[in-house]
Amino acid sequence: MRLFFFFTSSLLLLLSSCENDIAIVQQISYQADAPTESTKNLVLTYATDGCAKVEIHAALAETYRGKAQITKIKDSLKVYFFNETGDIVSTLSALYGEINYNTGELMVKDSVRLYNHKKKQTLETEALFWNQKDSSIFTESAVIVRSPKGKLFGKGIRTKQDFSNYVLLQPVGSWQIEKNQTIQ
């Protein structure tokens, strides 16, 4: 009986002494600039009426929650833009990106490329923004638009996410057009 009492008392003493003060634990382990969430091989899908409209693939994503909820995408990302029938119409790639959930914007930078599959045209720049609310893509940085018909250079561009039509804000260079084609 003494042995039972000894083991029971020891066990109760051991369990009651294992208490951590949460304030002390936070002082030791809390880092204000650390992400609240970290994800490898992230796939984020934006859908409307059950159909995917945009799909973001990222090698590494870190989410920070504070006044603004931001996900920082590192080590490359790819964004697929879909049409109404579910086909990929354009692809955006970059080495770095940030999704701001408060504003609904994705900012990408470093080796940015936007490719329209049907027209086989590519936009190259160092930084641009995609606005989820109106599906627009824009930048004020230097851009190059390459297509089978030639190259256009400029500073700044505005387009929709499908990259079917665009407006160069300050264009330079030459472009081959057909007789009945107009430039807007």
pLDDT tens for each residue of 104-124: 999 999 999 999 999 999 999
Please give the CATH superfamily to which domain 35-172 belongs: Lipopolysaccharide (LPS) transport protein A like domain (2.60.450.10)
Can you name the residues that pair with 136 across neighbouring β-strands? 131, 160
Residue ranges of the domains in the chain?
A: 35-172
The letter for the amino acid at 65 is: R
* Residue 10, pLDDT score: 65
Helix (H, G, I), strand (E, B) or coil at 166: strand
pLDDT, mean of residues 2-8: 65
Q: For residue 18, is pLDDT > 60?
A: no
User: Going by C-beta distance under 8 Å and a sequence separation of 6 or more, which residues neighbour residue 167?
Assistant: 157, 158, 159, 184
Structural contact between residues 124 and 139, judged by C-beta atoms closer than 8 angstroms: no
Structural contact between residues 116 and 159, judged by C-beta atoms closer than 8 angstroms: no
Neighbour count for residue 24 (Cβ, 10 Å)? 9
DSSP category for residue 104: T
User: 177: phi > 0 → left, psi -120 to 50 → alpha, else beta; which?
Assistant: beta
Helix (H, G, I), strand (E, B) or coil at 22: helix
* Residue 171, pLDDT score: 87
* Residue 51, pLDDT score: 79
pLDDT, mean of residues 90-95: 97
Rounded percentage of the chain residues whose pLDDT exceeds 70:
76
pLDDT tens for each residue of 138-148: 999 999 999 99
* Residue 60, pLDDT score: 94
Helix (H) or strand (E) holding 11: helix 2-17
- Residues listed for the chain: 184
Q: How far apart are CA 43 and CA 20, in angstroms?
A: 37
Neighbour count for residue 165 (Cβ, 10 Å)? 11
Question: pTM score, two decimals?
Answer: 0.76
* Vertex 146: Cα angle to 144 and 151 (nearest 5): 75
